[in-house]
């Protein structure tokens, strides 16, 4: 008779009851389910933005690679990206550094990977507490929702929502939320006014993210610090301050009816 044991890395191998080795050695590695990886991506990405508020989070669909989540600065001079297969990658001095999912999920401290990225990219580790901004709080609430729902019977995702209504005026993500439609139109009007006044095209950073449950949108997040639900628009920072800067309670306050 045999039983399973684990080594320090979490890999299982088979041993006999008398303690002697048996079987084929280490069992085949099976990666965590996507929901665990998605929650981890968003926690690390949102923490990077919290600790370095000049950063932002973007998302892209890449044929063959699936969905990418990227942390970058406004000049795109630095880019850290994650995907559900390859883990984390970033480019420094022309050299790509990778951190596998095995490494990230086996980290003893939740900040181990975070600090490794900060040191590897040259961001550095903050020497003092960083003030939470509406911008960084937006991403943290998304991350908190995904972590809370990791064992829900529904599948949860955060995906970019198109900003320009002229590109996709019937984008289904916005339709349930009149306040989000108005906010999107306001962004477009402001961009048109800026182009008209300067005579130059401008580059858009996506301000909106859709939080999906079983592919149905339950909220639109504006990275300026606003969540849009069927109840209307809510500024996140006042809510966060009112409940003593507790992230989990803030998430429950604005998304409670949908959370498991």
Tokens 């999906």 belong to 212
Distance from C-alpha of 43 to C-alpha of 212, rounded to nearest angstrom: 17
Residues 40 and 66 in one domain: yes
Residues 146 and 199 in one domain: yes
Residues 202 and 230 in one domain: yes
Last residue of a domain, one of 121, 152, 168: 121
Residues 144 and 240 in one domain: yes
Last residue of a domain, one of 78, 97, 121: 121
pTM, to two decimals:
0.86
Tell me which residue range forms the domain holding 107.
34-121
What does residue 93 show for φ and ψ, rounded to 5 degrees?
A: 55, 40
Q: Is residue 42 part of a domain?
A: yes
Residues 201 and 247 in one domain: yes
Structurally, the chain folds into a number of domains equal to 3
Residues 87 and 141 in one domain: no
Residues 9 and 90 in one domain: no
Q: Is residue 129 part of a domain?
A: no
**Start-to-end CA span in the chain (Å):** 41
Bridge partners of 211, per DSSP, are 158, 219
Last residue of a domain, one of 95, 121, 147: 121
Residues 88 and 116 in one domain: yes
Strands (E), 142-255: 156-160, 208-213, 216-222, 226-229, 232-235
Distance from C-alpha of 59 to C-alpha of 162, rounded to nearest angstrom: 11
70 touches 84 (CB < 8 A): no
Q: Is residue 144 part of a domain?
A: yes
Residues 111 and 191 in one domain: no
Query: What tokens appear for 159 in the block?
Result: 């995906």
CA-closest candidate to residue 209, choices 228, 188, 233: 228
- pLDDT tens digits, the chain, 260 residues: what are they? 444 443 444 444 444 455 555 555 677 778 899 999 999 999 999 999 999 999 999 998 877 767 899 999 887 678 999 999 999 999 888 889 999 999 999 999 989 999 999 999 999 999 999 999 999 999 999 999 999 999 999 999 999 998 765 556 667 899 999 999 999 988 877 777 777 777 666 556 779 999 999 999 999 999 999 999 999 999 999 999 999 999 999 999 999 999 99
Residues 146 and 105 in one domain: no
């Amino acid at each position: 008779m045999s039983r399973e044991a684990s080594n320090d890395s979490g890999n299982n191998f088979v041993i006999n009851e008398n303690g002697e080795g048996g079987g084929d050695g280490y069992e085949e590695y099976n990666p965590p389910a996507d929901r665990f990886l998605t929650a981890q991506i968003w926690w690390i990405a949102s923490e990077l933005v919290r600790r370095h508020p000049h950063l932002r989070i973007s998302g892209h669909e890449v044929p063959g690679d699936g969905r990418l989540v990227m942390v970058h600065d406004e000049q795109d001079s630095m880019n850290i990206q994650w995907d559900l297969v390859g883990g984390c990658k970033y480019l420094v001095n022309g050299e790509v550094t990778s951190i596998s999912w095995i490494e990230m999920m086996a980290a003893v401290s939740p900040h181990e990977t975070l600090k490794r990225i900060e040191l590897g990219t040259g961001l550095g580790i903050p020497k003092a507490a960083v003030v939470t901004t509406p911008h960084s709080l937006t991403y943290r609430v998304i991350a908190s929702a995904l972590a809370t729902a990791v064992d829900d019977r529904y599948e949860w995702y955060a995906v970019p929502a198109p900003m320009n209504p002229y590109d996709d005026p019937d984008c289904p993500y916005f339709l349930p939320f009149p306040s989000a439609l108005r906010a999107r139109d306001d962004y477009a009007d402001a961009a048109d006014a800026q182009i008209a006044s300067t005579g130059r095209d401008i580059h858009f950073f996506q301000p909106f993210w859709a939080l999906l449950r079983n592919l149905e949108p339950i909220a639109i997040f504006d990275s300026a610090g606003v969540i849009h639900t069927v109840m209307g628009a809510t500024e996140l920072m006042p809510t966060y301050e009112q409940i003593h800067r507790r992230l989990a309670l803030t998430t429950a306050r604005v998304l409670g009816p949908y959370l498991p």
